[in-house]
Amino acid sequence: MRQHPPEGTAEVLFIGNATLLIRYGELTLLTDPNFLHRGQFAHLGYGLVSRRLTEPALDVADLPHEDLDAVVLSHLHGDHFDRVARRGLDRGLPFVTTPHAARLLKGLHGFRHATGLRTWQSRTLRHGDSSVRITSLPGRHAPGPLRVLLPPVMGSLLEFGDRSGEVRLILYLSGDTLMYDGLREIAARCPDIHLAVLHLGGTTLPGGLVVTMDAGQGADLLDLLRPRRALPVHHSDYTVFRSPLEDFLTEAGRRGHGARLVRCAPGERVTVGAQATA
């Protein structure tokens, strides 16, 4: 078992795509578990597939299964929860996700402790003296009426602390959202985000439909939220990604956000605190 991160900090292991292993005190969370290998296809619905271009830094069998407290799942899409994860994760593991995904996880896949949160609903998890309040935040996976073609998505606010209720660290996971007016409420309600994890890539479906933030939209979200630090993910792993990471880094730097950006390659770890990220 790995040593706990320093008090008040979280250790974030980037596994690939939008999959993170987050450790805070005695708590361990897994996000958007995607363990397909290079060359395998993620199923996106309506017969659409996308080929994975990269290897995950960790195999599902190598996860610290005995330490996992929950999975935070932004939505039920093949590049965020795949058949490898479905076979490799314990059916008793709690999931915190959208109501749509929770129904399918329980009814179709047998994950009996899946909890669906509506926007701004929260669930608190505890392990020993460590706690995290997970709040569902606004997200929109496609523009206008076309969003009915894609599964509902949520962002997540992770507020880490202890049993006293004091919040020591705040992480934001954007989920597969586009920029839209609904995200302004996040800025109003969550003015001090220590680390924002941004799902980028400019995912483009047939017909040119863009369904995740590209470089410009990612920089727009930094303009809006102004987190202390930002970690870009979900940008290089699948053939449907059309907006390279370098484009985002360039645009974010041009707008004065260079000091906020955290670079973390798959397999690397960063330690996140309220004051610094290393």
Mean pLDDT computed over every residue of the chain: 95
Please report the pLDDT score of residue 72 as a whole number.
98
Q: Is the pTM higher than 0.75?
A: yes
Q: Are 20 and 234 in contact (CB under 8 A)?
A: no
- Provide CB contacts within 8 A for 169, sequence distance 6+: 8, 9, 10, 24, 159, 160, 161, 194, 272, 273, 274
Looking at residue 277, what is its pLDDT?
64
- Token pair, residue 199, equals 């799902």
For 103-123, what is each residue's pLDDT tens digit?
999 999 999 999 999 999 999
Would you state the pLDDT for residue 64?
A: 97
Per-residue pLDDT, 61: 97
Distance CA 84, CA 243 (A): 26
Burial class (CB in 10 A: 0-12, 13-18, 19+), 70: buried
Nearest to 211 by CA among 122, 276, 139: 139
The residues of the chain scoring below 50 in pLDDT are 1
**pLDDT tens across 167-199, in order?**
999 999 999 999 999 999 999 999 999 999 999
What pLDDT does 133 receive?
Answer: 98
